[in-house]
Chains A and B, each alone.
Chain A
Amino acid sequence: MNLPAVLAIYRFEMARFWRTALQSIVAPVIATSLYFVVFGAAIGSRVQTVDGIAYGAFIVPGLIMLSLLTQSVSNAAFGIYFPRFAGTIYELLSAPISPFEVVLGYVGAAATKSIFIGLVILATAAMFVPLHIEHPVWMVAFLLLTALTFSLFGFVIGLWADGFEKLQLVPLLVVTPLTFLGGSFYSIEMLPPFWHGVSLLNPVVYLVSGFRWAFFGKGDVSVGISVGVTFLFLALCLGLVTWIFRTGYRLKS
């Protein structure tokens, strides 16, 4: 294991994160505060409770998940896309470093950043609503697992994209809509039967449900299924990354 190389990539990526701290941290905090103003105060005052949970508190896991997913995907995608765009990828390809170590460095940094932002949002939320986390260990486990899985997914997008437009395509047109429609701001139990069934095809439903269960002990689907689906997606992303490095897709000619 070339640990210094993994650390070099990790530190390099984290340095970029701190260099753009305003954009990286302040922007999600402001966005979260706005969500609380709109959904928590304006709409929440009329909805009152969902599944016996105050609406303001109910949306917290969904809000964290929304940021966690988009930040994981964007950070990892940009992290590996930029060296490809700038041409500095030659250094990675000619260094004595295995594909696994490259992934560990980039995905580890992207996951760290998104977890940090997730925790910042959690702290911001705690200022708006009283929060009690029923299963803190599971909450951390879901946070880690989701950040890791979607950072891997972002890494795949960063390798696939051949322009900045494509880099934004999946986070904006796939991840964000799936998160909004994945029960972030509502329980899918509230939907008519047909749309409830359709929602179960959305993988984000399982992530939000599992995460919400960690907070309140209640979710739309069982926690076992949530963990299983998350692991399934993780395995899929791992398989894709392995294939990319084996074939050199978009990396080597």
Chain B
Amino acid sequence: MSPIVSIENLSKVYASGLHALQDVNLTISKGEIFALLGPNGAGKSTLINTVCGIVTPSSGRIRVAGHDHLTDYRAARRMIGLVPQELTTDAFEKVWDTVSFSRGLFGLRKDPGHIERILKDLSLYEKRDNRIMQLSGGMKRRVLIAKALAHEPQVLFLDEPTAGVDVELRQDMWRLVRRLRDQGVTVILTTHYIEEAEEMADRVGVIRKGRIILVEDKVELMRKLGKKQLTLHLNEPITALPDSLADFGLQLASGGRTLIYTYDTKRERTGITGLLTDLAAAGIGFTDLDTSQSSLEEIFVDLVRERA
């Protein structure tokens, strides 16, 4: 797929001396959902705000659909919609007016039909004449999304879109993001909820201390870095492992009633056959077994810890 956002050697040093971004290189493909993960203060928001024109980069280059974000900023920004992390709204404005205002800012003529569609999609249409201060936090978040979509952007940045929202709204947003992707919109989101990335993202990027430490296809990442565990539920509890099983690195759990074997899916041999043979030889029987795969969250924690 052709790149829609291309970031080259991007660095940002704040006046305080903080290196928020260090030599960031990243390419986002058209139509994908890209999740940017990182701990607090990693540089996620700085990266998004720099692409959107809110933060001035110290060095480097950003292009949006081939348009340089500084020299050809009008064309570049016209492509982008931004939903900020904070609930920053004009408290005294009406929902319809504030969304229409956003469309105007991006140089587009009034289109009541489009605004109506967005408000209906976000279950905001009934509230169109309400002042924003009369809305709940979740509704305000929807208003921010509506404002970001008012000018029909090709790239949508969602900075922590589901922070502090209830489960229903979160699922609504996930549905909306998928629908946007189906319409050809590229979505870049930062999130603290790894499950969100796991649920929605096509690709995942991990940023830490201003550096992108990994960019990978989500499925591939989970395949490459994911670990599997085999859990055996024993017939009889055991107090210690026989010496013949020492090489398997087994964990004894549930008061000696379960054995946990962690194996690497990338290896040619998982060792499961050998383990089962050796268990039988040692006279240890089991009633049931199950396997589980490590989540993206576990991979993320491992990654961040590894490189700390």
Contacts and interface: CB of A to CB of B under 8 A. Distances in A.
Interface of A: 2-5, 7-9, 11-12, 15-16, 19, 86-88, 90-98, 248, 252-253
A253 B14 contact: yes
Contacts of B55: 252-253
B91 A96 contact: no
A94 B82 contact: yes
Interface stretch (B96-104, B187-195, B214-222, B234-242): B96-104
Q: Which of A2, A3, A86, A94 has the most CB of B within 10 A?
A: A94
Given A5-B105, A253-B15, 20 more contacts: A2-B74, A4-B107, A5-B106, A16-B92, A19-B92, A86-B89, A88-B89, A90-B84, A90-B88, A94-B52, A94-B54, A94-B80, A94-B82, A96-B73, A96-B75, A96-B77, A96-B78, A96-B106, A248-B56, A253-B56
A140 to B, nearest CB: 29
A252 B107 contact: no
15 contacts: A5-B106, A7-B104, A8-B101, A12-B101, A86-B89, A87-B86, A90-B88, A93-B52, A93-B53, A94-B54, A96-B75, A96-B78, A96-B107, A253-B14, A253-B55
Q: Which of B53, B77, B105 has the most CB of A within 10 A?
A: B105
Contact of A4 (B80, B88, B109): B109
Contacts of B54: 90, 93-94, 252
B189 to A, nearest CB: 16
A101 to B, nearest CB: 10
Interface in B88-137: 88-92, 97, 100-109
B84 A9 contact: no
A11 B80 CA distance: 24
A20 to B, nearest CB: 9
Interface in B46-97: 49, 52-56, 73-78, 80, 82, 84, 86, 88-92, 97
Contacts of B49: 90
A95 B88 contact: no
Sorted nearest first, the 8 A-B pairs with minimum C-beta distance are: A8-B104, A87-B88, A96-B74, A95-B105, A94-B52, A96-B77, A2-B107, A93-B54
A9 B91 contact: no
B147 interface: yes
A106 to B, nearest CB: 13
A196 to B, nearest CB: 47
A87 B85 CA distance: 11
A9 B106 CA distance: 11
Contacts of A7: 104
A16 B93 CA distance: 9
A252 B54 CA distance: 6
A8 B78 CA distance: 16
Contacts of A12: 97, 101
A93 to B, nearest CB: 5
Contacts of A5: 104-107
B183 to A, nearest CB: 21
B92 A94 contact: no
A93 B82 CA distance: 11
Interface in B138-160: 147
Nearest to A252: B56
Given A9-B105, A90-B82, A95 B77 contact: yes
Nearest to A16: B92
A87 B80 CA distance: 19
A91 B90 CA distance: 11
Contacts of B97: 12, 15
B108 to A, nearest CB: 6
Nearest to A92: B105
A230 to B, nearest CB: 32
A175 to B, nearest CB: 26
B109 A87 contact: no
Q: Which of A4, A9, A95 has the most CB of B within 10 A?
A: A95
B83 to A, nearest CB: 10
Given A90-B82, A91-B147, A97 B88 contact: no
Nearest to B105: A95
Nearest to A248: B56
Nearest to A93: B54
Contacts of A4: 104, 107-109
